[in-house]
Amino acid sequence: MPSSAVRDVLVVGGGISGLTLGTALAQAGIGVDLIEIKDSFTDNGGVGLSLVANAMRALAVIGVAEQCLAAGVPADSMALLRPDGVLLADNPLPRIGGPQWPGSTGIARSAFHHILLSAAREAGVRLKSGTTLEDWTETPTEVTATLSDGTRKTYDLIVCADGLYSKLRPRIIPGAEPAYTGQSVWRASIQRPEGIDRTHIYLGGRHGVVGLCPVSSTLAYVYIVEAAPDNPWQDPATLHDVMREKLAGYGGIVADVAGSIDRPDAVSYRPLDWILAPAPWGSRRVRMIGDAVHANPPVLAQGAAMGIEDGIVLADELGNGTDLDTAFDRFIARRYARSAMVVEASCQLARWEVEHTPGVDVAAVMRKAAQALAEPA
């Protein structure tokens, strides 16, 4: 291995991007310390998510795709319905990750996090919670990190994967900040209704999109993506009551399950922000990946996929023994345009939903994105 190759990396952030990167690096024989600011490695309080086929293709690289299939609910179509619950169409989901991976797999956030965390441990990633990066000193040959617990250690590279609201980004990429899309999302965990084996999406009602996504043999979640241009504050104690009211008027399965949304702690509410930070996402030895540099509304279901791909591609480039500058040049060449396409297409679709833009070809934008994402990252 050349003397300029990477041997020891600090990863900041124990979410999807950080755990994927840490596992992939460790599997490539690179030493990894991974720190998480929370007191434990939990699932960030999420309800569920959809792993689109290109995410499964990337997860297969670190050997966890089959586990995700077993824990989740794979599907090759989604049901499109009127607000009253009448089926409009079965919309096929192309296998853009290859013939072996279904178009989409719904999975509980906690189950997915457990799979990633177990993989990191098995790969030998050194995990430490309740700790974050306080400061660092960079030289041409190394970077010395000072952690919040007083630890100081020298690395070849620091990679920050600390999310959309990163506390470290202002220093690493000054001026890059999230912006509001004008939408918010509500998600509520429910018992999986009998016979629901794929995502159901209700179009044309009070809100931009209402959906129901099964994530395990027993669980599903209901979600609402709504226009909220004023970004209103919501009382955490009444989230369940407000969400039930917002579902009033919808029929079918959504009407059947709305009454089971009876606890505020089962509901997640958040405004939808986006960001696309300029390349090269950091300095020579301190870089950023995942939602910290590219995040988008969930209309293409690509948020998790983009973070997963970042981790796999960066580990691929760092693990081949080339010098750091070359590895990151290749990483940016493989990731920036692809991530930007997803952010821009997602934000365009979100704008159309918020503004109720007539005559737009939503399907054409989604087809174009799917064709691009069918190409390997």
Q: Give pLDDT tens digits along the chain (377 positions).
A: 343 589 999 999 999 999 999 999 999 999 999 999 999 988 766 789 999 999 999 999 999 999 999 999 999 999 999 999 999 999 999 999 999 999 999 999 999 999 999 999 999 999 999 999 999 999 999 999 999 999 999 999 999 999 999 999 999 999 999 999 999 999 999 999 999 999 999 988 888 889 999 999 999 999 999 999 999 999 999 999 999 999 999 999 999 999 999 999 999 999 999 999 999 999 989 999 999 999 999 999 999 999 999 999 999 999 988 889 999 999 999 999 999 999 999 999 888 887 777 778 888 898 899 999 999 99
- Tell whether 156 and 298 lie within a shared domain: yes
Residue 160, domain CATH: 3.50.50.60
- Tell whether 255 and 298 lie within a shared domain: no
Whether 12 is in a domain gets the answer yes
**pTM of the predicted protein model:** 0.95
- Tell whether 24 and 157 lie within a shared domain: yes
- Tell whether 146 and 284 lie within a shared domain: yes
**Which range marks the domain in which residue 254 is found?**
180-272
Across the chain, where does the E strand assignment appear? 8-12, 31-36, 48-52, 73-75, 77-81, 87-92, 104-108, 126-129, 133-138, 143-147, 152-155, 157-160, 179-191, 200-202, 209-214, 219-227, 267-276, 286-288, 294-295
Is residue 357 within 8 Å of 38, Cβ to Cβ?
A: no
Lookup: tokens for 138: 């960079």
Nearest to 133 by CA among 106, 117, 153, 115: 153
- The residues, any chain, with a CB within 8 Å of residue 104's CB and separated by 6 or more, are 50, 51, 52, 53, 74, 75, 76, 78, 93, 199, 301
What is the CB neighbour count within 10 angstroms for residue 246?
A: 17
- Tell whether 197 and 279 lie within a shared domain: no
- Tell whether 18 and 117 lie within a shared domain: yes
Whether 86 is in a domain gets the answer no
- Tell whether 125 and 67 lie within a shared domain: yes
What's the alpha-carbon Rg for the chain, to the nearest Å?
21
- Tell whether 173 and 141 lie within a shared domain: yes
CA angle 43-301-55, nearest 5°? 75
Say which residue the tokens 């016979």 belong to: 195
Give how many domains the chain has, as a whole number: 2
Question: What is d(CA 359, CA 289) in angstroms, rounded to the nearest whole number?
Answer: 36
Whether 88 is in a domain gets the answer no
- Tell whether 331 and 221 lie within a shared domain: no
- Tell whether 229 and 348 lie within a shared domain: no
Whether 80 is in a domain gets the answer no
pLDDT at 44: 61
Instruction: Please state whether 300 falls in left (phi above 0), alpha (psi between -120 and 50) or beta.
Output: alpha
- Tell whether 361 and 288 lie within a shared domain: yes
- Among 272, 299, 327, where does a domain finish? 272
pLDDT at 244: 97
